[in-house]
Amino acid sequence: MAHTNENQPTHATNAPDYLAWHVIDKGEKSYWNKVGAAWKHKDDKGFTIQLEVVPINGRIVMRQPMDDMKA
């Protein structure tokens, strides 16, 4: 049986609460590429994550967007 959650956001119209970044470390440099976003559920008990790509190496970091990066 599928679990439905009435508290999930309608993220098509809301700015994301977090942006997902794929981070690769090469020596002393780190390269950050935006790969998706996340929205908090209304009940604050979870997130909906939407990834545009799925990296096969490195790590994914979730960060709050800066004001000029929202939208």
- Contact between 48 and 9 under an 8 Å Cβ cutoff? The reply is yes
Q: Give the pLDDT of residue 52.
A: 96
> How does 6-15 read in b/e, with b if 16+ C-beta sit within 10 Å?
eeebebeeee
- CA dihedral of 35, 64, 71, 53, whole degrees rounded to 10: 10
Q: At CA 47, angle to CA 5 and CA 17, rounded to 5? A: 130
Amino acid 11 reads H
Q: What is the pTM of this model?
A: 0.72
24-47 confidence digits (pLDDT tens): 999 999 999 999 999 999 999 999
Q: Give the pLDDT of residue 71.
A: 47
